Amino acid sequence: MQTAPASLSSLSKFTQAASLFDPADSLLPFTVEGVLAGWMKRSFAEHLENWPEHFAVRSRGVGLLGHFETAEHRSAALVEVVEELASAGVIRGWRGELVTVAESFYAPPLFHIERAASRYFGLTVYASHLNGLTWRDQALHMWIAQRADNKAIDPGKLDNLAAGRIARGYSPLQTLIKEAGEEAGLSAELAKTALSTGATRCKYLVDEGLHQEIMFVHDVMLPADFTPTNQDGEVARFTCHPITEMLSMLENPAQFTVDAALVIIDCLIRHGYISSNQDDYLDLIHAIRP
């Protein structure tokens, strides 16, 4: 097995920038029922002052008022706010898809909200990612997708075989099966053979506010003669690379989506292509793991 060079300082810098941003330095905390639910820019918080019956907007943070008794009541209140802000052009990129916000993935929901609003409120969202692996010429290879040029986020960038945000009511496995079929043409039976291998995280500043995401990671071993076929128009093409080439490709992480690069780094660590011989091995692991 070919392993990484002795120093991966550039990779460490990338993972730290992609995963370890401290929002307390520049953003306002957003609390719901005593739970830190997200972070937002002051400029966005100012828009919420138009709903004093919903929010307490202070210099040190924003809170959703406590008279909303259930997740459904909170969700209904937020629908009004988010739809009006979208109509005014404050929130962009409407998806028509709800995501669930909770203290942790397995905790009871605090509320459900339009996916496009997640970065503005700095909410933690969740996704399922799939590494497509195969053996060719006695060497392990990885399938890489290139996103279509018309994608709203990260057009043309390199991505995992399949990936998608976990919408309200979906599990990581259900999301994986759905996205693998739509993006890469995997049958449900083949997608179900994927192994759940852990999770990675990213947290970084964006124009809207904060991107904060936890990715459930899966590996699927594909037949050598299998070729992914996109079904939903979101992927321009697929290419298959020896996994030993992935480190050199990651020398330019900007060609990948941030989340895909982190998922690939995690895969390289788990399969021994980034080993404990590297002096920043623990730094990499600390940065990407939730």
pLDDT higher than 90, residue 286 = yes
pLDDT (average), residues 226-246? 96
Q: Could you give the angle at the alpha carbon of 131 between the alpha carbons of 20 and 238, nearest 5°?
A: 110
Confidence of residue 2 (pLDDT cuts 50, 70, 90): very low
Contact yes or no for 194/220 (Cβ under 8 A) = yes
Residue labelled with tokens 């929130």: 91
Cβ-count burial of 60 within 10 angstroms (0-12 exposed, 13-18 middle, 19+ buried)?
Answer: exposed
Q: Answer whether residue 289 shows pLDDT above 80.
A: yes
pLDDT digit string, tens, across residues 86-103: 999 999 999 999 999 999
Confidence band for 284, pLDDT divided at 50, 70 and 90:
very high
- Angle of helix 9-19 relative to helix 281-288, nearest 10 degrees, comes to 20
Euclidean distance between CA atoms 35 and 31, whole angstroms: 5
| Site of tokens 């075989």 | 161
pLDDT, residue 23, reads 97
Pairing of strands 28-32, 61-64: parallel
- 50, 54, 137, 57: which is closest to 87 by C-alpha? 50
Q: With a cut of 90, say whether residue 231 has pLDDT above it.
A: yes
d(CA 207, CA 55): 23
Of 174, 182, 247, 212, the residue nearest 22 (C-alpha) = 212
Note the pLDDT tens digit of each residue in 185-201.
999 999 999 999 999 99
pLDDT over 70 (residue 6): no
Of the candidates 129, 116, 109, 136, which has an alpha carbon nearest to the alpha carbon of residue 224? 136
Burial status of residue 49 (CB atoms within 10 A of its CB: 0-12, 13-18, 19 or more): exposed
Q: Which fold has domain 28-121?
A: Transcription Regulator spoIIAA (3.30.750)
Average pLDDT of 202-229? 97
What's the pLDDT tens digit per position in 115-140? 999 999 999 999 999 999 999 999 99
Query: Would you give the DSSP letter of residue 21?
Result: -
Q: What does the alpha-carbon distance between residue 47 and residue 223 come to, in Å, rounded to a whole number?
A: 52
Q: Which CATH architecture has domain 9-21+125-288?
A: Alpha-Beta Complex (3.90)
Domain ranges for the chain, please list them.
Answer: 9-21+125-288, 28-121
What DSSP string describes 90-139? SS----S-EEEEESSTTSPEEEEEEGGGHHHHT-EEEEEEEEEEEEETTE
Nearest to 193 by CA among 144, 244, 133, 238: 133
- Number of Cβ within a 10 Å radius of residue 237: 11
Say how many Å lie between the first and final Cα of the chain, rounded. 28
